[in-house]
Structure 1
Amino acid sequence: MFNLQGTEISHFLFAMGCLLAAAHLLGFIAERLYIPRVIGEVSAGLVLGPTLLGHFFPDLYHWMFLGFSEEDKLFGLLYQFGLLMLMFSSGLKFQTHFTKEDMKITSVLVVGATVPSFVVGWMAADMLNIAPYLGVANNLLALKIVIAISIAVTSIPVISKIFNDLGIMQTRFAKIVIACAGIHDILLWIALGFATALASKGGVFTLATGLKSIFLSVGFIAGTLILGYLLFNRLTYLKQNLLFRASNMGYFLFIMFMLAALAGTLHVETIFGALLAGILVKLSMPKAVSERIEQGVSNISFPWFIPIYFATVGLQLNLVKHFNLLFFLGYLLLATLTQTLAIYISSRLIKQDRLTSINLGIAINNRGGPGIVLSTVAYSTGIINQDFFAVLVMLSLITSWFPGTWLRIVVNKGWRLMPGDENIISKQKKKINTIKSLN
């Protein structure tokens, strides 16, 4: 019943192994060039997918990735697991401890990053000819929502990786940026849930449909966090909790899968469940436990599931046939200027200095993993077509590049990220200079 033929298993393992190896190799090369690893991982799919291998050697591409009837479904399953693990990992990076001043800054930046960017994205959708980018759902309203989200979305995983690589994860700046990205993206996932609900209704929008979608998303988030916070800690450490005693990691993965399944049952995106499971662990578990779980999830996810997810995104792209370079460059300029200026102006309004405001604007203008998740969900639900899917993925990749380069310059120059981070930046600059002198 659950068996594949031996030749099919061998074929799939060969194709998956090649894709995984390419993802790690190109990710490694990207990091050596000070480019976020995710760009290299998606590039693996571009190299082995329709863009390069499929274009020059179409028979080899079809043999490798479409060699038997169920192969695409096996890759699809790994793709979904990678997506869930990415969102679970993102939730585990959620920040929980703030001073009143930091809460004020974060709140202003969340509003500043969301409202103007969403409005500009919505207006741009009205001004641009977006009809050629409609997906099979043929829902113009859902497409407009996706465009607005794509302008405003921010990435926790990529910016966290950049902070870790630069040794500035413990700075006040990093804490505020990650918190802003987390809260910001929860709001945008609610909007995405509304868009996917519209698409699933065959293009019919009613007030009842809209209110139901928003109520389900908000209710699921609030109910999970409130009930989870009250019950999770107590239930976890009960002597009768044999699953936790049998395997701590297995227990938390079980919670993640159950919340994702519940979200799907309620017609809320399954990624909500995985994200909230991570946030719940971060909020309710002692710091030592949440850090151990985060490390365990990283050990499971980043060697296999997450690289395969990003590489499979690349496999779905055909930049030769489905990519309008001029449209993309205009869209990139619009998204980058809108998000960066919105954050810069918001930061200046609360009396942050110019350099701090620039740093915040560039760091938050980083779409990375969530931008790719947005594009894949919108594409899979028929909101966008393959042409716009390629635009959104490339937007996520390019805007992930900017913050890493800029923040590396800031650290190397010994400039301040924001008030309160002077000592950390000074120590990091000395460390970098020491490494350079040894080399």
Structure 2
Amino acid sequence: MFSLASGDLARFLLAVAALLFASNLLGYIAERLTVPRIIGEVAGGIVLGPTLMGFFFPHAFHWLYLGFGSEGQLFGFLSELGLIMLMFNSGLKFQYRFEKSDAKIGISIIVASTVIPFVIGWLSTYLFNPAQFLGPDHSVIALKIIVAISIAVTSIPVISKIFSDLGIMHSRFAKIIIGIAGVHDIILWVALAIASGIAVSHAGVNAGALLENLGITFGFLLVCLFIVPWVLKRITSKRANFLFRASFLGYFLLILLILADAAGYLGVDVMYGALLAGVATKLALPERLWKRVESSVKEISFSFFIPLYFGIVGLSLNLAQNFNVGFFVLYLVFATIVQTAVVYFTCRAIRNDKLTSFNLAAAMNARGGPGIVLSQVAFAAGIINQNFFAILVMLALFTSWMAGAWLRYVLKKRMRLMPGDENLEIQKAQEEVVFDAQPAFEGQ
């Protein structure tokens, strides 16, 4: 009933191994070349997918990745698991507190870089024919929301990794950007959940349906931000909580699955539930425990599920046939200019110097993981077609590379990121693999 033929299993495992090898290898090479790892991981899928292997060696590609009827569904399941883990990790990085002196900068950028680019992105759909990018759902309203989000979105995981690689995670600059990105993305994921709800309902767009979707989405958000952490604080450490005592990591993965499932049943996107599960977990736990959760989840996620997810994204792209290069270049320039200008002039308006303002603007342009997740969720929901899916993925990759390259240049030239970081001491990231002789759950 739940089995898979031996030959099919062997072929699937070979395909997974090849994709995992390519994604990790090219991700490693990308890091050595000071390029965000995510670019190499997606490139692994592009090499093995229809863009390259499928184009030059179509029989080999079909044998390996389309060899039996359910193989596509198995890769789809792996992709969804990787996406769930990525969103949970993003939620665990959520920062909701600014230093008193940084609150003005943080709040100003959050408001400006969310509202203004979103509105400009929405209005930009009147400058081109959005019907050319519509998916099978044929919802123009949902497509406009996706375009607006793609202009405004910022990446928590990628910008955090860039800061870690540069050795500046402890800087004032990094703390402000990560705090902004956390709140910023929660707001934009509300919009994505609404777009997904419109697409899933198939009932057209009317005031009643839209208000109902808004109410459910915001209600779920409030429950996850306030009620779930309150409950977790009171039950997690209880002696009667045998689930927590039985498996530390398993307990929090169960919370992840419950909230993701609840989001799906409510008509809110499953991935939004996974993101809020990470946020709720962090809000509920003392620092010592949530760092253990983050470390444990990170180990299993970034070694297997997340590289495979980004590899499968690359595998889903067919840049040889479904990619409008000219429109992508225009879209890249437009998205970069809008977000850069909004953040730069907002920072100048609150009297930051020119270099600080530009540094903050460059960092806020990294769309990375959330940009790719946006494209994947919209494509899976039938909101966008394969052409626009490819454009959004490439937008996320290029803007992440541009942000990292600028910040690396600033540090290389020994320029200041912002006031307070004049004598910044670079702290190189330590090796991920650490051998600890202490028991894993000592002090629990």
TM-score normalised over the length of structure 2: 0.95
Q: What are the equivalent positions in structure 2 for 1:52-201 lying under 5 Å apart? A: 52-201=52-201
Cα distance, 1:243–1:195 mapped onto 2, change above 3 Å: same
Question: 1:214 offset after TM fit, Å?
Answer: 1.1
Question: Which residue of structure 1 lines up, in the alignment, with residue 442 of structure 2?
Answer: none
Aligned partners of 1:30 and 1:39 also within 8 Å: yes
Question: Which residue of structure 2 lines up, in the alignment, with residue 377 of structure 1?
Answer: 377
How many residues of Structure 1 are paired with residues of Structure 2 in the alignment?
429
Q: What are the equivalent positions in structure 2 for 1:257-406 lying under 5 Å apart? A: 257-406=257-406
Aligned partners of 2:200 and 2:267 also within 8 Å: no
Q: Which runs of 5+ in 2 are unaligned?
A: 430-444
Aligned partners of 2:19 and 2:45 also within 8 Å: yes
Compare 413-422 and 288-297 and name the one that shifted more: 413-422
Aligned partners of 1:160 and 1:169 also within 8 Å: yes
In 1, the alpha carbon distance for the partners of 2:187 and 2:225 equals: 15
Question: In structure 1, what residue type is equivalent to 2:264?
Answer: G
Aligned partners of 2:154 and 2:366 also within 8 Å: yes
SS for the counterpart of 1:422 is: coil
State the Cα deviation string for residues 134-191 of structure 1 (Å, max 9, x = none): 1111111111111111100110000000011111111111111111111111111111
SS for the counterpart of 1:416 is: coil
Q: Which has the higher helix share?
A: 1
In 2, the alpha carbon distance for the partners of 1:428 and 1:187 equals: 32
The answer to whether the aligner puts 1:230 opposite 2:224 as a matched pair is no
Compare 287-296 and 100-109 and name the one that shifted more: 100-109
Aligned partners of 2:98 and 2:179 also within 8 Å: no
Aligned partners of 2:42 and 2:313 also within 8 Å: yes
Q: Which runs of 5+ in 1 are unaligned?
A: 433-439
Aligned partners of 1:86 and 1:301 also within 8 Å: yes
TM-score normalised over the length of structure 1: 0.96
Question: In structure 1, what residue type is equivalent to 2:243?
Answer: L
Question: In structure 2, what residue type is equivalent to 1:353?
Answer: D
Question: In structure 1, what residue type is equivalent to 2:2?
Answer: F
In 1, the alpha carbon distance for the partners of 2:123 and 2:83 equals: 30
In 2, the alpha carbon distance for the partners of 1:330 and 1:256 equals: 39
Question: In structure 1, what residue type is equivalent to 2:50?
Answer: P
Question: In structure 2, what residue type is equivalent to 1:19?
Answer: L
Compare 46-55 and 192-201 and name the one that shifted more: 192-201
In 2, the alpha carbon distance for the partners of 1:197 and 1:281 equals: 25
Question: In structure 1, what residue type is equivalent to 2:145?
Answer: I
In 1, the alpha carbon distance for the partners of 2:404 and 2:65 equals: 33
Runs of 4+ in 1 over 6 A off after TM superposition: none
Cα distance, 1:203–1:354 mapped onto 2, change above 3 Å: farther
Question: 1:414 offset after TM fit, Å?
Answer: 2.2
SS for the counterpart of 1:418 is: coil
Question: In structure 1, what residue type is equivalent to 2:268?
Answer: V
Question: In structure 2, what residue type is equivalent to 1:260?
Answer: A
Question: Which residue of structure 2 lines up, in the alignment, with residue 436 of structure 1?
Answer: none
Q: What RMSD over aligned residues (CA atoms) do the two structures have, in Å?
A: 1.3
Question: In structure 1, what residue type is equivalent to 2:376?
Answer: T
In 1, the alpha carbon distance for the partners of 2:396 and 2:61 equals: 26
Question: In structure 2, what residue type is equivalent to 1:334?
Answer: F
In 1, the alpha carbon distance for the partners of 2:146 and 2:277 equals: 25
In 2, the alpha carbon distance for the partners of 1:85 and 1:246 equals: 21
In 1, the alpha carbon distance for the partners of 2:238 and 2:404 equals: 44
Question: In structure 2, what residue type is equivalent to 1:258?
Answer: I
Aligned partners of 1:88 and 1:256 also within 8 Å: yes
Percent of aligned pairs sharing the same letter: 53
SS for the counterpart of 2:68 is: coil
Question: In structure 2, what residue type is equivalent to 1:337?
Answer: I
Aligned partners of 2:343 and 2:361 also within 8 Å: yes
Aligned partners of 2:117 and 2:152 also within 8 Å: yes
Compare 268-277 and 253-262 and name the one that shifted more: 268-277
Aligned partners of 1:139 and 1:203 also within 8 Å: no
Question: 1:90 offset after TM fit, Å?
Answer: 0.6
